[in-house]
Structure 1
Amino acid sequence: MKGLPFVISTAVLATSLVHASSLGTCHPANRSPPTLTWSLLNTANTNQFRGLAPVSHKVAWVSGTNSTVLRTTDGGNTWKSVGPQLTGPDAELEFRDIQAWSAKKAVILSIGFGPESRIYFTEDGGKNWTQSFGNEEEAAFYDCIAFENEKRGLAMSDPVDGKIRLIETLDGGKSWSVIDSAGIPPARANEWGFAASGTCLTTTAGRWYVGTGGEDPGRVFYSSDGHIWDVSNTTLLGAEAAGVFSVRFRDRKHGIAVGGDFENPTGNMNNAAWSTDGGRTWQSAARFPDGYRSGSSWVPGHCDMALAVGSTGSDFTLDGGRTWIGFDNGTFDSVECLEGGLCWASGAGGRVARLYVK
């Protein structure tokens, strides 16, 4: 089963290609526009998968509601349930984020206040899971994890004592320690992250980024080491259910931020911005995605191309986030693209899909 092909105007495409040329894309700016169509895969599952971790063309993991973790080793043709064997209330944990390096090694994060926020890791493909972190702070609510390599990673929580809480691992998720908050700017009174796609915390080229909302405007925290942080305002609308849901950088300078208002899923104003200075300043998109977007990903090898997904559809940009073009109206929460132009997406109702960018 496939999604709907995109339809765009000549004027919008021309504008996108001009911007792409000026930014120095990996492919010629006069190439034919890509034909993007999601191909849905049969997971035989109906849980919501906000956690997404493709490793290769064959291996991918998803995680989500009801403590569910699935893994494929044949490109999505078949899926195996490999989550922790939990009982009682623990069986209802929501694994909103996942990081994987192979068919055997993965780390998962469950979200929630207090002890519901946990981290588990496996080194045998999910046959055995070990809990390596259990939240003991009632005010903490962990949203996302990210790794810069197989050893070092961070996990981010909503503010505790007036600052976002960060924990760090140096051994691939086997142990975690709290990062000193002295180097983190104060949070605003109603500021928090969104556990929507695992990309409210990301890392690229040795730099770290956190996207937040709750108050207007949405903000991006940025750091060169994960310990000392600065923060900047974006142009994204911020409110109780609105702000920066996903922040992604393709290198140390070029980034995108997408989001919007979760409670107004078709709202298409002030839901995307772009940066060319490492997140210090942000510019509003000239043409916004077609609604609230929870996840985004750059497409490796297509330097100014990125995808964004949300509950009302998908969009792409060819000019580093300046203009967005809708191409599908199916619901997804998360998207991740790999070298070679293969992109995976996951979402509600057990939906997982792939597409190739030529």
Structure 2
Amino acid sequence: MSFFKKTLFLLKYKQKIMQKYLLALLLFLSAVTFSQELEVILQNPVSENNFRGLWVVDENVVWASGTKGTIIKTTNGGKSWQNLPIKGFEDKDFRDIVAFDEKRAFVINAGSPAYILKTTDGGNNWQIVYQDTSKNAFLNDIGFFGEKIGFVFGDPDNEANFTLLKSEDGGNTWTNIGKNLPKAQKNEAGFAASGTIMRFREPSHIWIGTGGGEKARILLSTDLGNTWQSVEVPILSGKASQGIFSVVFQDLKNGVAVGGDYTQPNFSEKTAIYTSDGGKSWKIAKIPPKGYRSCVSYIRKKTYIAVGSNGIDFSKDGGKKWKNISTEGFHTVRFIREGNIGWAIGNKGKLAKIILK
């Protein structure tokens, strides 16, 4: 080999090495920047009970609900919390909560008998507005369009009819319109893992995720629950512990669902899917979260956060690619819509404030 050819060969070799180092450096810096965009600030536990219900009203007012009839609330952005156990319901596990302000809120419990409770005085007193003593009663999720029209989704009865309670008077009375929904498949139900299996978008769209059956589904209504479409989705399914555990939409077209298998928290295959046509079709995330995820929340501008028992993941591209940013485990996460402040909550009172920088 001539001196000229040898020199040219060495220059090209060094160029390739430098390109590899540069690419590795850029990927590293990208990952660092990604993780530094969210700050997770652990708080001192307010209660030793387990929490799954969470509602963020605004930067100051946050409610949470959990086991042993426990309700906690802050009105100053987490500087202090009130512990407000509901008397007479100490044996209930309140899996979901929704609040309008620091005074008015609703909670639902898992299991039978099933209750919907309402407070108008900040959680000091609660009123029963719905009760179901049937053996199969199990409520998963509660939510409202504004402050008048509300829905509660629950597991199916013996005739494979899902429970779908509707209120048109601000939650004072409830009617079961579950027969409007498609029939449940064998073993199919909802997961009350984070109170986010059902989501709404104005003016009239509702999405509900299911699991436990042979195929997980998204049930979709565009007319306030009167008629429904059923869409099978490519998330992990086929066992009682698998399916969709949480769904969220940033608008009428773009949304994300997460789940997996809660008995295999580190198994990441098919744990997240996304849609760009309002939930009519779904695609598997190109880079999934690092395992089973029980909750996903929309933040802003195609940005989502997902939590599970083994960590927190972050997506900036509408749920196509996920980046693990923490190994802290939580059940539920909620953000102020189009804001930069959220909260996460989990077992033994584990609580964190999350800030998007």
Report if TM-score (shorter chain) is over 0.5. Answer: yes
Q: Distance in 2 between matches of 1:185 and 1:10?
A: 49
Is 1:214 the counterpart of 2:216? The answer is: no
CA contact (8 A) 1:157 1:193 kept: yes
Is 1:245 the counterpart of 2:242? The answer is: no
Equivalent position of 1:47 in the other structure = 49
Q: Distance in 1 between matches of 2:133 and 2:278?
A: 34
The correspondence of residues 123-138 of structure 1 with structure 2, limited to 5 A, is 123-138=120-135
| Alpha-carbon distance, 1:79 to partner | 1.0
Equivalent position of 1:23 in the other structure = none
CA contact (8 A) 1:297 1:335 kept: yes
The 3 A distance-change label for structure 1 pair 13 and 208 is farther
Deviations 1:299-318 (A, max 9, x none): 0xx32100000100000111
Q: In structure 1, what residue type is equivalent to 2:130?
A: F
Equivalent position of 1:69 in the other structure = 71
Q: Distance in 1 between matches of 2:26 and 2:111?
A: 46
Q: Distance in 2 between matches of 1:9 and 1:174?
A: 58
Equivalent position of 2:20 in the other structure = none
Q: In structure 2, what residue type is equivalent to 1:228?
A: T
The correspondence of residues 347-358 of structure 1 with structure 2, limited to 5 A, is 347-358=346-357
RCO comparison, higher one (Cα < 8 Å, 6+): 1
Q: In structure 1, what residue type is equivalent to 2:144?
A: F
CA contact (8 A) 1:41 1:77 kept: no
The correspondence of residues 273-312 of structure 1 with structure 2, limited to 5 A, is 273-299=273-299, 302-312=300-310
| Alpha-carbon distance, 1:354 to partner | 1.0
CA contact (8 A) 1:162 1:188 kept: yes
The correspondence of residues 1-358 of structure 1 with structure 2, limited to 5 A, is 10=26, 33=34, 35-86=37-88, 90-113=89-112, 115=113, 117-160=114-157, 161-179=159-177, 181=179, 183-205=180-202, 206-224=204-222, 225-238=224-237, 239-299=239-299, 302-338=300-336, 339-358=338-357
What is the SS of the residue equivalent to 1:92? coil
Q: TM-score under structure 2 normalisation?
A: 0.88
Q: In terms of Rg, which structure is larger?
A: 2
Q: In structure 1, what residue type is equivalent to 2:298?
A: W
Q: Distance in 1 between matches of 2:25 and 2:283?
A: 23
Q: In structure 1, what residue type is equivalent to 2:328?
A: G
The 3 A distance-change label for structure 1 pair 276 and 13 is farther
Q: Distance in 2 between matches of 1:281 and 1:189?
A: 23
What is the SS of the residue equivalent to 1:163? coil
The 3 A distance-change label for structure 1 pair 304 and 12 is farther
| Alpha-carbon distance, 1:263 to partner | 0.3
CA contact (8 A) 1:155 1:167 kept: yes
Q: Distance in 2 between matches of 1:180 and 1:275?
A: 25
CA contact (8 A) 1:216 1:243 kept: no
| Alpha-carbon distance, 1:106 to partner | 0.4
Equivalent position of 2:14 in the other structure = none
Structure 2: 5+ residue stretches without partners: 1-23
Q: TM-score under structure 1 normalisation?
A: 0.87
Q: In structure 1, what residue type is equivalent to 2:325?
A: F
Deviations 1:122-144 (A, max 9, x none): 01101110011111332231111
CA contact (8 A) 2:47 2:83 kept: no
| Alpha-carbon distance, 1:180 to partner | 5.2
| Alpha-carbon distance, 1:204 to partner | 1.5
Q: In structure 2, what residue type is equivalent to 1:297?
A: S
The 3 A distance-change label for structure 1 pair 253 and 36 is same
| Alpha-carbon distance, 1:190 to partner | 1.0
Report how many aligned residue pairs link the two structures: 327
Q: Distance in 2 between matches of 1:9 and 1:241?
A: 40
Q: Distance in 2 between matches of 1:330 and 1:170?
A: 39
The 3 A distance-change label for structure 1 pair 12 and 111 is farther
Deviations 1:255-286 (A, max 9, x none): 10100101001110011000111111110000
What is the SS of the residue equivalent to 1:349? helix
Q: Distance in 1 between matches of 2:107 and 2:144?
A: 12
Q: Distance in 2 between matches of 1:137 and 1:263?
A: 28
Equivalent position of 1:5 in the other structure = none
Equivalent position of 2:15 in the other structure = none
